[in-house]
Structure formats: structure tokens, C-alpha cells
Amino acid sequence: MSSTVNFDITLMAASCIVPEQTMRRVFLSCVEEMRGELKSNALYIGGEYLGQLAIGKRIVLQYGSHMRQSNKRSELRELFTKRIAVAQSDYLNELEENQRRLRESAAAEASLLAEIEQMEKAKTKSIAAMQRQEKPECEAIKEELCEAAEAKGYDVIEEKTKQGIQLQFVRREY
Amino acid sequence: MPKKINVSLDNGGKVFVETDGYRGPSCVKAITELFDEFAEVDGFEHKSDYYEEEETVESGVGVIV
């Protein structure tokens, strides 16, 4: 073994449910609804520091082991999951509507067909991401991690244990 | 020896990571890169392999220095 490290994270928002900007807006509105605030990505709810947010394709909350007792993290995640379901429904409708409009355009040129295809992929991704969001945190973060690792050149071997999940990321050799 | 990153996730969000097959500081880089979208990882504990010289790649061929 070379090095070891410990940390604590919660997947607040799975990637691809809705566009990133919408994901951030909905998340921030949930933070506000719970009387929270962000200070340089440090998350406070009701004055209590809950951890540091990594906001990109997805939203991940990182916190110290000594803070694990707070249930505000799961409350915020549950609230976000409810709110984002509404936003996702709007997003899917919007994609459907755009697809319908493009299909109706007189000449179905290759570029339009490609755009329609992209929207179809976005819909599929969004639906899969919402299913992930609704899964238990451990399962959801595992799936996001595996996806990220595969994209970064690792093969993934997974094993479930009583305590959680054991993952082995094996660097692909070329 | 294949380079591996072993990750344990518990149901409460606790993550334990250890590398296997890496030599030198490349193990820290590998973990940091893998988790860069998820967390700022620090507080590493290093095993003896960490202090060994790491592999370098020249002309597309892996060479152990």
C-alpha cells in the first residue's frame, strides 16, 4: 500500500438531472428555505456549519467526522430531491417540446436530427440521474464515483459488505 | 503490478481510500485526481512505498527508475 486517506461526503445532487445552472438554483433555494447560507461554498443551516460544498456537474458536501451527527444534511438532501423532481419534470417537458418543434421543421436536416438525438440523450441521462438521486446516499455516491472513475481510465470492481460498499478502481493499461 | 485505488464507502458517507501498486507520490496524485470533483482530499498517511522512487514514462514505454 502506498497511501491512505479518510473523509466524509454526501451526494446532495446527482449529475445530469437538470442543467447545472438549474441544479444550482434549486439547491440554493432549498438552502434558503432551510434558513441556510453559503459562504465561499461553506454551508451553514440555521447557523450550524454543515461542511464544504463542491459544486460542479454534481453537488457534494464534504464534512468532518466529528460533524456526522447532524441530520440537517439528509433533510436538505430530501428537500432538494423533492424540489428537483419538479424542476426535472419541467426540463423533460421543455426537451420534449423542443424536439417536437424541431421535428416539425420542414426539412429535417442532419444538424436538426443530431440536435433531436442530443435531446433524447439528455432526457435519458436526466431520468437515470433522477433515479440515482432517489437512491440511498451510499448507493448514489457510489454510482457517481464509479462513473467518474471509468471516465478517468479505471475499471471498477464492486463488492457489497455489511458496512457499505467496497470498490476497487484498477488503472487501465494501454 | 496493476495500479489500484481501493475505496470503502459506509452508509454514513464515510470514505476510506488506499492505493495499491503505486510507488512514490503518484499515489496521492491519483487519489486527488479521482476525487477532484467530489472533495478536497487531505490528511494522507503514507506507507513505505510512498517514499520509493516513482515510475517514469519515456517514449510511451513504462520505465522503472
Mean per-residue pLDDT, B32-47: 90
Answer whether B49 sits within 8 Å of A170, measured CB to CB: no
Binding-site residues on chain B for chain A (CB distance < 8 A): 2-24, 27-28, 30-31, 33-34, 37-47, 49-50
Distance CA A77, CA A74 (A): 5
Answer whether A5 sits within 8 Å of B31, measured CB to CB: yes
Answer whether A142 sits within 8 Å of B9, measured CB to CB: yes
The SS3 of residue A102 is helix
Q: Residues B11-33: pLDDT tens digits?
A: 888 899 999 998 888 899 999 99
What is the C-alpha radius of gyration for chain B, rounded to an integer number of angstroms? 13
Query: Which residue of chain B comes nearest to A173, CA vs CA?
Result: B2
**Given pLDDT bands bounded at 50, 70 and 90, which one contains residue A43?**
very high
Q: Cβ(A37)–Cβ(B51) under 8 Å?
A: no
Nearest to residue A33, comparing CAs of A45, A41, A22?
A: A45
pTM of the model: 0.74
Answer whether B38 sits within 8 Å of A145, measured CB to CB: yes
- By the CB < 8 Å criterion, does A144 face chain B? yes
- The HSE-up count of residue A173 (CA atoms within 13 Å, CB side) is 8
Looking at the predicted structure, is the pLDDT value of residue B59 above 50?
A: no
C-alpha cell at A81: 430531491
Structural domain spans, chain B:
4-64
Looking at the predicted structure, is the pLDDT value of residue A7 above 50?
A: yes
As beta bridge partners, residue A44 has: A37, A49
Q: What is the pLDDT of residue A67?
A: 66
